[in-house]
């Protein structure tokens, strides 16, 4: 049973790697295509795609956490002795490693989404015209152009990515999963 559960964790990890590779591919493809065709909408699609992929990554990560918790509580805990500590119990005490990994992912996702917003902002005359007209008090220009809406959704995507990948969400999930007796409560 232990081997099957460890294989399930490895499968979740493989999918996380594929999700990250797809994110990098989407970043390069959408920004390159948007710049080449001078189409800000293509660049603005990336933060929305990246946020969706970040949700998928978090779902896989929660699968890893769930299987790890099961191994720790149902398989390792009965076998644990003072002389011998099993992997899942040992790694639980190393939250700093997991937190560093999450912060690295957070920086990658948020910075790549922010870069796409900056690139799209320089490319899009509609956004500049709409914001300039509104600040000047000219309301004849519609601020609801497709680029402006995509820019808004992309910005919201960055905020959502911050929430779902942020360090605080990591500790909240750990606290929710720590219902077994004897486990440390996450702060």
Give the span between the Cα atoms of 85 and 163, in whole angstroms.
34
The number of helix segments (H) and strand segments (E) in the chain equals 8, 0
Global confidence as pTM: 0.74
Would you say residue 33 has pLDDT above 90?
yes
Query: What tokens does 8 get?
Result: 């399930």
Query: What tokens does 73 get?
Result: 């509580």
Give the span between the Cα atoms of 151 and 118, in whole angstroms.
10
Give the span between the Cα atoms of 13 and 7, in whole angstroms.
10
Portion of the chain with pLDDT greater than 70, in percent = 68
Where does the pLDDT of residue 97 fall: very low under 50, low under 70, confident under 90, or very high at 90 and above?
Answer: low
Question: Which pLDDT belongs to residue 94?
Answer: 62
Give the span between the Cα atoms of 101 and 112, in whole angstroms.
17
Give the span between the Cα atoms of 166 and 19, in whole angstroms.
18
With residues binned 3-state (H G I as helix, E B as strand, rest as coil), the percentages for the chain, rounded to 5, are 80, 0, 20
Angle between helices 95-123 and 40-70 (to 10 degrees): 170
Question: Which pLDDT belongs to residue 170?
Answer: 54
Would you say residue 32 has pLDDT above 80?
yes
Query: Which residues, at least 6 apart from 145, have a Cβ–Cβ distance to it below 8 Å?
Result: 126, 127, 130
Please state the separation of Cα 147 from the chain's center in Å. 24
CB 136 within 8 A of CB 109: no
Would you say residue 79 has pLDDT above 80?
no
Where does the pLDDT of residue 15 fall: very low under 50, low under 70, confident under 90, or very high at 90 and above?
Answer: very high
CB 61 within 8 A of CB 53: no
> Which range among 2-6, 87-91, 106-110, 133-137 has the greatest average pLDDT?
106-110
């Amino acid at each position: 049973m232990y081997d099957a559960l460890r294989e399930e964790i490895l499968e979740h990890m493989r999918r996380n790697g594929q999700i990250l590779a797809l994110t990098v591919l989407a970043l390069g493809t959408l920004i390159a295509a948007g710049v080449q065709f001078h189409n800000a909408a293509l660049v603005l699609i990336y933060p929305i795609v990246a946020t969706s992929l970040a949700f998928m990554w978090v779902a896989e990560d929660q699968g890893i956490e769930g299987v790890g918790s099961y191994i720790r509580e149902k398989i390792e805990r009965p076998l644990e002795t003072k002389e011998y500590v099993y992997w899942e119990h040992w790694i639980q005490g190393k939250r700093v490693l997991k937190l560093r990994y999450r912060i690295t992912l957070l920086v990658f996702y948020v910075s790549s989404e922010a870069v796409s917003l900056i690139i799209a902002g320089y490319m899009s005359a509609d956004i500049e015209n709409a914001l300039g007209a509104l600040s000047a008090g000219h309301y004849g220009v519609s601020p609801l152009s497709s680029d402006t809406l995509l820019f808004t959704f992309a910005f919201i995507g960055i905020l959502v990515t911050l929430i779902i990948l942020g360090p605080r969400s990591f500790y909240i999930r750990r606290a929710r999963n720590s219902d077994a007796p004897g486990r440390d409560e996450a702060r």
